Amino acid sequence: MHLSGALLLLTFLVPPVWALDAYGAAPANDPSADVPPFMILLAVVFGCVSFHVAVQIPSGLLGTWLGRNRTAGVSYVLVLAVAGVLTIVLLWGALGAGRGAQILPLWADFMARGSLAMAAYVWLSRRLRTRRVRRSDGPELAAS
∠ CA 91-119-113 to the nearest 5 degrees? 40
> What are the start-end ranges of the E strands in the chain?
none
Average pLDDT of the chain, as a whole number: 78
Q: pLDDT by residue (tens digit) across 40-62?
A: 788 888 888 888 899 988 988 88
The backbone region for 65, taken as left when phi is positive above 0, alpha when psi lies in -120 to 50, beta otherwise, is alpha
Task: Give the integer Cα–Cα distance in Å for 79 and 58.
Answer: 9
* Burial class of residue 114 (count of CB atoms within 10 Å of its CB; 0-12, 13-18, 19+): buried
- Asked whether the CA dihedral 105, 99, 118, 4 is positive or negative, the reply is positive
Q: What is the mean pLDDT of residues 30-35?
A: 64
Does the structure show a pLDDT above 90 at 85? yes
Helix (H) or strand (E) holding 97: none
Q: pLDDT by residue (tens digit) across 97-144?
A: 666 777 888 888 889 988 888 888 788 777 776 665 555 555 555 444
User: Which of 140, 86, 139, 136 lies closest to 111, judged by CA?
Assistant: 86
| Amino acid identity for residue 26 in this structure | A
